[in-house]
Amino acid sequence: AQSVSQHNHHVILSEAASLELGCNYSYGGTVNLFWYVQYPGQHLQLLLKYFSGDPLVKGIKGFEAEFIKSKFSFNLRKPSVQWSDTAEYFCAVMLSSGSARQLTFGSGTQLTVLP
């Protein structure tokens, strides 16, 4: 079964600092990759997704992620974080084949941005 690892459980940054959140998955086949964000008290929203093509994916709010197939990684980056980026971030993997489009989520990374 596939699994997703997010090694950083809680990251604390000051405004304007650069961000990189790690995500590794274990599955040898073709996958679709996602980053979701959950602001305090809200539901999950899609930040960005990768299906195929350019491994550098740009999402909303200045976020981007790079798919490195050889490392089974899909790390999330932002050059300069803002206080409003305080949220929990989830990486998720979906198998590209099969009848069921199930998502497997990582355990999440809580990002706190200090003003």
Partner 1 sequence: NAGVTQTPKFQVLKTGQSMTLQCAQDMNHNSMYWYRQDPGMGLRLIYYSASEGTTDKGEVPNGYNVSRLNKREFSLRLESAAPSQTSVYFCASSAPDRGNEQYFGPGTRLTVT
Which positions touch partner 1 (CB under 8 A)? 4, 6, 9, 32, 34, 36, 42-46, 49, 51, 90, 94, 99-108
Tokens read off for 99 = 């009848």
The most distant pair of C-alpha atoms in the chain lies apart, rounded to whole Å, by 46
Identify which of residues 46 and 60 has a Cβ nearer to partner 1 in the complex. Answer: 46
CB of residue 11 to partner 1, shortest distance in Å: 15
Tell me the closest approach of the beta carbon of residue 17 to partner 1, in angstroms.
24
- The strand pair at 109-114 and 10-14 is best described as parallel
Cβ of residue 103: shortest distance to partner 1, in angstroms? Answer: 6
- Separation CA 11–CA 60 (nearest Å): 20
